[in-house]
Chain A
Amino acid sequence: MKHILLTRLLHWKKQWPSLLFWLLFPVIAAFLFAAAANEMQSEITVPVGVVVEDDTPSAHELYEKIAQAPFLRVHKTTKADALHLLEKHELDSVFIILEGYEKKIRSGSRNGLLTSYESNRSFAYTPVKEMILSFVQEETGRAKAAYTVQQLSKQSAGKEIWTMEEITESSKRIQSEESLLETDFSYAPVENQAEKNSQPLVNVWEWWAIFTVLSTLLLSDWVIKEKKARMHIRLAFSRYSFKNYLLRNAFLYTALFFIFDLIAIGLFTLFLKEHVVVPAVMSMLSFRLMIQCGGFLAAQMFTHLYRFYSASFAIASIFAIISGAILPVHPFSSRHRWLEWLHPIHSVEAWLFAAILLMWIWYVRKEKSIA
């Protein structure tokens, strides 16, 4: 192995700029994507002005709900200031919770609760309005339910008359406990809702994996270069068979790549606060072995470098699409589970098994050219 390492170092010494670039490419590209996504995430929040004229708990509660809505950047201000900012297009739209909001809610009146303003550049006015109306609808529905319960209680001459506050609180508690308005169904254990809401727009590891597939495939071009150099003729008269020589070199590349995988873990942990545990490192090793075998076997099928490079980009693009990193494919893939199996990032174990099996077949297959 020492001899193979020394011969490989002779090549790496000449190729180090491109080698280093492609080894670092997945980390750098994933970092750039994560940064760009974060930037995009902060830019796509809609600036909305909210004026609370009604100084009641219900009005403040509505404001809090609006303020907590994802993708909204809420400015609580006065009406004059809000309209001034709207004119300057610094706000997308303005919503005023009018005086008497709580009173009207309790009386079951749905008119004159809010006033809204938009400008000719308001692009998110309609969805924001719909969202706020849904909050109000929730409150009016609850108030109406409370009123109905009270009336029924009176009619049935019950011994106990509940107050509206008690009924409303009870309704909220039931809603909160039962999660009546939002329920996710899943066949596998998933993260809780809080974690789901705090998920970044881009999964940095997913992108890293896709870029790693690309860089691994591209750096597997050494197999084609060895074949083009007709090394098998020389190696017939050396201490290593051609296959043995290729396999040992593949091992060296795997080790080198894995060192950079560990560097990626370190960088992501340090800068992106990604938490990586030992099983994750083992998964990464499995993933590394799988794509190294895949790249090695793919390169065996090509004799022209440019065709191989083109195929590498095509394969990485297909994986990116299947993974949903480019387009959301979850609704489709959840109906067609075989798509998950097609994806080497999502089905590492199955692909690793297939890759090792194919490597073994390649190794034991009788070579025709060298008798």
Chain B
Amino acid sequence: MLSVKSISKSYGKKKILDNMTFSVQHGEILGLVGENGAGKSTLLKILATLLKPDAGQIELDQLSYQKQRAKVRKKIGFVPQDIVVWENLTVEENMLFFAKLSWKKKSVDELRQLCLDMNLEKWKEPVKTLSGGMKRKLNLAISLIHDPTLLLLDEPTVGIDLKSRKEIGAYLKKLAADQGAMIIYISHDMDEITSLCDRILCIGNDPFYKNILKKTNKEIATFH
């Protein structure tokens, strides 16, 4: 379980996150919504151990973020908003590249299966020749090489076609259901968020998102 207790974060005098508390269970997909600058990406970076909160405590499966950061990182998969892959290498070479740097050993067959599960079939193609959707899938696949318990995704489907979106969404649901992964997902697409996520966290003061989400039967928490 991911347990977040009373975390706060400021940039200078500007308070981004204030006394935020929530938890995520295994097998659960949590959506993060809010206007630009509300603090979604900051929260995700804190949960990814890339930023330290000013106050509060976070635990992942009883591992403290403050005291056991190295162990925590082994359990985290982070999918950045930017596509962080090597454009000049093929899909296979990208997977091999990051697998060599990973904590977990994976065979070529396992890596290929991971891509196939996401309908990423162009194994031998250079990444620069792939569509945006395919690149996004590869971006996600690389983050899953070490079988993370907590998967953090920052707008992973931005700018891609509907088919690829649906495929990524279906894969994430399967990942949560079959492997009990905890998934935290940022998106501005309300349809995607409501169809994919079990619960939704609404960050910021703008009532726009909350009003839209009220029409759904999802559990909504709001943080200002």
Contact = CB atoms under 8 A, between A and B. Distances in A.
Contacts of B86: 11, 229
Contacts of A4: 100
B89 A237 contact: no
B96 interface: yes
B186 interface: no
Interface residues of B, number: 28
A109 B29 CA distance: 113
A201 interface: no
A369 B82 CA distance: 16
With a 10 A CB-CB cut-off, give which of B48, B77, B82, B97 has the most chain A CB atoms.
Answer: B97
A240 B102 CA distance: 8
Contacts of A14: 88-89
A233 B78 contact: yes
Contacts of A371: 49-52
A16 to B, nearest CB: 12
Contacts of A230: 80, 82, 84
Nearest to B101: A238
Contacts of A318: none
B101 A236 contact: no
B98 interface: yes
Contact of A239 (B51, B84, B103): B103
Contacts of A234: 84, 98, 101, 142
A14 B94 CA distance: 13
B73 interface: yes
A33 interface: no
A245 interface: yes
B84 A7 contact: no
A355 B77 CA distance: 37
B198 interface: no
A233 B84 contact: yes
A181 interface: no
Contacts of A364: none
Interface string B80-115: 101010101100010011101111000000000000
A3 B98 CA distance: 10
A231 interface: yes
Nearest to A369: B50
A235 interface: yes
Size category of the binding interface on chain A? 20 to 34
B76 interface: yes
A230 B50 CA distance: 13
B101 A235 contact: yes
B50 A239 contact: no
Contacts of B51: 371
A245 B50 contact: no
Given A10-B93, A10-B96, A236 B49 contact: yes
Contacts of A240: 101
Interface string A151-180: 000000000000000000000000000000
Contacts of B146: 237
Given A3-B100, A10-B96, A371-B52, A236 B84 contact: no
A278 interface: no
A370 interface: yes
A194 interface: no
Contacts of B76: 237
B82 A236 contact: no
Contact of A229 (B74, B78, B84, B96): B84
Given A230-B84, A236-B48, A370-B50, A7 B100 contact: yes
A188 interface: no
Contacts of B143: 237
A201 B103 CA distance: 57
A237 B84 contact: no
Contacts of A10: 89, 93, 96-97
A6 interface: yes
B73 A237 contact: yes
Nearest to B143: A237
Interface string A1-28: 0011011001100100000000000000
Contacts of A11: 86, 88-89
15 contacts: A3-B101, A7-B101, A229-B86, A230-B82, A231-B84, A236-B49, A236-B78, A237-B74, A237-B76, A237-B77, A237-B143, A237-B148, A238-B102, A238-B103, A370-B50
Interface of A: 3-4, 6-7, 10-11, 14, 229-231, 233-240, 245, 369-371
Shortest 5 CB-CB contacts between residues of A and residues of B: A238-B101, A371-B52, A3-B100, A230-B84, A7-B97
Given A234-B84, A237-B48, A239-B101, 18 more contacts: A7-B97, A10-B89, A10-B96, A14-B88, A229-B84, A230-B84, A231-B84, A234-B142, A235-B101, A236-B49, A237-B73, A237-B143, A237-B146, A238-B98, A238-B101, A238-B102, A240-B101, A371-B52
